[in-house]
């Protein structure tokens, strides 16, 4: 059996189209243009690439994009002052501080200084608490993208056994909360989990968010299970030429697709959904700020 490919790139394009049509209605009916501010401190090359593509897609869906590029030595006080200014600015509906921050800046302090209503990454402690108690919140983009793909494929997730490998605050824990919210029976696995293969073999849904290239082999996957591979790992690809690299996930795609019922590829799976969900969250934040009905 070969699994159905869950095409995140195509799905993300449809999510962005829906956001764009909603934005156009906001403009024509209410004179509102959503604004997303992205703050980048320092010159981490991967972060620069992410910020550039976020900015480009923000503009493509008709929103205003504001980029604040700060020097790597920026003081905490200056960064907090900028966030305070953005919190008060009515033309800004979403604020995203690109992580990781340089070591001298306290990430928790910085994230928790963002107005929770504008916290489109969903990392503010209030949003974490709201999600954890099943209340309306801003949901972190990557797990939200995974949930949307799972709902699209399964319809209802109720009663399914889900295993999330990884317990980070950014992916693993919010993912587990979202699956619980959709009535899955959820297991969170991590580096201290005993007999990981056995745990994974029980799952109808496997979400791998570890950061270890191809660590989940196909024979851990139950026949017909759905596999969501969050991992993005760059490995050497000598077959493409000297010094060349390629991206792989945390799951061994070639063997996993033989057992899985459905699987996301890397690249082209979860990655594109993350930015689409950032735009969807910015739209949601704009509607909430203006007392308008939220998009589904």
Point out which residues pair with 229 in neighbouring strands.
208
* 165: Cβ contacts below 8 Å, ≥ 6 apart: 172, 189, 190, 196, 200, 206, 207, 208, 209, 210, 216, 250
Decide if residue 171 touches ligand NDP (CB under 6 A): yes
Catalytic residue flag (residue 54): yes
Closest contact distance (angstroms) between CB of 155 and ligand NDP is 24
Residue nearest to ligand NDP (CB): 168
Q: Which two tokens stand for residue 45?
A: 């090359």
Does residue 126 bind ligand NDP (CB under 6 A)? no
Question: Is 8 a binder of ligand NDP (CB under 6 A)?
Answer: no
**C-alpha–C-alpha distance, residues 161 and 170, integer Å:** 22
Q: How far, CA to CA in Å, does 113 sit from each of 95, 103, 227, 270, 284?
A: 11, 18, 36, 28, 20
Q: Is 232 annotated as a binding residue?
A: yes
Selected binder of ligand NDP within 42, 102, 211, 268 (CB under 6 A): 211
Cα–Cα distance between 20 and 17 in angstroms, integer?
Answer: 5
- The window from 29-37, 40-48, 156-164, 230-238 that contacts ligand NDP (CB under 6 A) reads 230-238
Give the C-alpha separation, 34 to 32, whole Å: 6
| Local structure of 68: helix, strand or coil | strand
Told to judge if 204 belongs to the known catalytic residues of this protein, a careful annotator would answer no
Between 74 and 119, CB nearer to ligand NDP: 119
Residue 191 labeled ligand binder: no
Q: Which of 2, 156, 192, 243 binds ligand NDP (CB under 6 A)?
A: 192
Among 104, 190, 234, 240, binds ligand NDP (CB under 6 A): 190
Report if residue 170 touches ligand NDP, rule: CB under 6 A: yes
Binding residues vs ligand NDP (CB under 6 A): 142, 165-168, 170-172, 189-193, 196, 209-212, 230-233, 270-271, 274
């Amino acid at each position: 059996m070969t699994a159905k490919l869950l095409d995140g790139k195509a799905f993300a394009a449809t999510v962005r189209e829906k956001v764009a049509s909603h934005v156009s209605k906001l403009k024509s009916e209410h004179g509102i243009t959503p604004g997303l501010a992205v703050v980048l401190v320092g010159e981490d090359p991967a972060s620069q690439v992410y910020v550039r593509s976020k900015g480009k897609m923000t503009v493509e869906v008709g929103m205003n994009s504001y980029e604040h590029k700060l020097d790597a030595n920026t003081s905490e006080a200056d960064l907090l002052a900028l966030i305070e200014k953005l919190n008060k600015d009515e033309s800004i509906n979403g604020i995203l501080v690109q992580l990781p921050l340089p070591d001298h800046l306290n990430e928790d302090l910085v994230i928790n200084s963002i107005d929770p209503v504008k916290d489109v990454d969903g990392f503010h402690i209030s949003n974490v608490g709201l999600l954890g108690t099943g209340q309306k919140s801003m949901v972190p983009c990557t797990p939200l993208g995974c949930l949307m793909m799972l709902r699209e494929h399964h319809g209802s997730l109720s009663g399914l056994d889900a295993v999330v490998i990884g317990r980070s605050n950014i992916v693993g824990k919010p993912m587990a909360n979202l699956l619980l919210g959709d009535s899955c029976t959820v297991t969170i696995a991590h580096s201290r989990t005993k007999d990981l293969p056995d745990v994974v073999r029980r799952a109808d849904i496997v979400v791998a968010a570890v950061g270890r290239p191809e660590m989940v082999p196909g024979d851990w996957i139950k026949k017909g299970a759905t596999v969501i591979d969050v991992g993005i790992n760059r490995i050497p690809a000598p077959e493409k030429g000297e010094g060349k690299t390629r991206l792989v996930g945390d799951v061994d795609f070639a063997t996993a697709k033989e057992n899985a019922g459905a699987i996301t590829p890397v690249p082209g799976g979860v990655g594109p959904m993350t930015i689409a969900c950032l735009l969807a969250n910015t739209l949601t934040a704009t509607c909430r700020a203006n007392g308008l009905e939220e998009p589904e």
